[in-house]
């Protein structure tokens, strides 16, 4: 693996030293894990295969989103779906991709693997990637409505909604009709505070039967195990949704405190509607400074791999973690 490939694979979360006690580098729900989802995982029967067609799960997800079950596509994870839909579009003759200015690296990795070329700014694209709220900025994606309205005949647009359940303010910029023109990719493990469980699903646009069939042919057998099924089933339940609503209220308060902390440190914080935000620190986040922070139990996410050098992306964590960040940063910069 080359250095550039390693750079593309950069993620937050545990590293060679294990999990940081105060990990600001990922965007999972810092209020979690969700008790209802955790209980469902503990009760999952891992002694048997799930239904390979996931009929009960698809019906449940369809009812949750009020769509036809035939539009629900089960995926092992968002990353797995990203790779699979890119392959499916390529097999259908597509080769031009449109990417957001800053976004999840797997969009680009999959496009490179299937030899896609960047679509011209004023030209058609076969595969379009969008997200709302976006990452790493946590903002409404610029030009989202324009990109969706300009989709050409036969174009495939995927709207990554990983952080929509963790939106702390505002609402989606797309209407229901516009959403029915795009693939909606959902990964509830972040909202449930259980990112170690890999499970996702997508809601197909209306009249996307051909691509649905191609995706089914490309899918592995049993993309979800019993625990992935349990997570998605719990996600649709009233207990999990009530807990999520309560966590959003708490995260709003924590975010206000975390922004105030960053301001006291002399950091410049960028606006965000999500449970994370980007900030420019008062001094550079050098490897030596990162190592000192890691020694103090703090991990931050540099956004250079997103094309935003000099910034840090911080997930919102409880006040105790924020206080440790303040102590560790002041010590590391002195």
* pLDDT, tens digit, 9 for 90 and up, residues 288-303: 999 999 999 999 999 9
Beta-carbon count within 10 A of 201 CB? 26
What is the pLDDT confidence band of residue 12, given thresholds at 50, 70 and 90? low
pLDDT band at 11 (very low <50, low <70, confident <90, very high): low
Query: Is there a contact between 14 and 222 (Cβ–Cβ < 8 Å)?
Result: no
pLDDT at 187: 97
Q: Residue 153: its pLDDT value, please? A: 85
| pLDDT of amino acid 1 | 37
Sequential DSSP letters for 180-208:
TTSEEEE-TTTTTT-TTS--EEEEPPTT-
Amino acid 19: pLDDT: 84
Report pLDDT for 281: 97
pLDDT of 121 reads 82
Task: Sketch out the chain's domains with CATH numbers.
Answer: 3-32+240-333 (3.90.1150.10), 35-236 (3.40.640.10)
The per-residue pLDDT of the chain, averaged, comes to 93
Nearest C-alpha neighbor of 191 from the set 37, 16, 17, 39: 37
Cα distances (angstroms) measured from residue 197 to each of 17, 37, 237, 329: 21, 11, 17, 31
Query: What is the number of residues in the chain?
Result: 334
pLDDT of 98 above 50: yes
> How many other C-beta atoms lie within 10 A of the C-beta of residue 313?
25
**Once rounded to an integer, what is the mean pLDDT over residues 106-115?**
96
Residue 305's pLDDT is: 87
Q: What is the pLDDT of residue 123?
A: 86
pLDDT of residue 3: 36
Q: Is the pLDDT score of 64 beyond 70?
A: yes
Lowest mean pLDDT among 86-90, 119-123, 193-197, 245-249: 119-123
Chain centre to alpha carbon of residue 101: 16
pLDDT of residue 5: 42
Burial class (CB in 10 A: 0-12, 13-18, 19+), 35: middle
Model pLDDT, residue 254: 98
pLDDT at 169: 95
């Amino acid at each position: 693996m080359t250095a550039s490939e390693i750079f593309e694979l950069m993620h937050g979360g545990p590293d060679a030293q294990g999990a940081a006690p105060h990990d600001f580098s990922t965007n999972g729900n810092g209020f979690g894990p969700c008790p209802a989802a955790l209980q469902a995982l503990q009760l999952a029967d891992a002694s048997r295969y799930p239904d390979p067609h996931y009929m009960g799960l698809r019906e449940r997800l369809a009812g949750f989103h009020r769509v036809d079950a035939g539009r629900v596509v089960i995926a092992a994870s968002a990353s797995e779906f990203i790779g699979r839909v890119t392959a499916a579009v390529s097999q259908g003759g597509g080769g031009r991709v449109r990417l957001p200015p800053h976004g999840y690296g797997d969009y680009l990795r999959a496009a490179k693997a299937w030899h896609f070329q960047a679509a011209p700014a004023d030209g058609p694209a076969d595969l379009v990637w969008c997200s709302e709220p976006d990452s790493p900025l946590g903002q409404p994606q610029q030009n989202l409505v324009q990109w969706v309205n300009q989709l050409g005949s036969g174009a495939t647009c995927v709207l990554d909604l990983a952080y929509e359940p963790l939106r702390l303010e505002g609402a989606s910029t797309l209407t229901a009709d516009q959403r029915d023109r795009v693939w909606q990719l959902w990964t509830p493990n972040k909202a449930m505070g259980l990112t170690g469980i890999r499970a996702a699903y997508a809601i197909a646009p209306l009249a996307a039967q051909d691509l649905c069939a191609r995706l089914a042919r490309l899918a592995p057998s049993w993309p979800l195990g019993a625990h992935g099924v349990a997570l998605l089933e719990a996600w649709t339940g009233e207990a999990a949704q009530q807990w999520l609503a309560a966590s959003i209220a708490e995260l709003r308060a924590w975010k206000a405190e975390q922004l105030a902390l960053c301001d006291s440190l002399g950091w410049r914080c960028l606006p965000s509607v999500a449970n994370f935000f980007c900030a420019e620190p008062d001094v550079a986040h050098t490897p030596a400074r990162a190592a000192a922070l890691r020694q103090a139990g703090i991990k931050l996410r540099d956004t250079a791999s997103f094309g935003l050098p000099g910034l840090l992306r911080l997930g919102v964590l409880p006040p105790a973690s924020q206080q440790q960040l303040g102590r560790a940063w002041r010590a590391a910069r002195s």
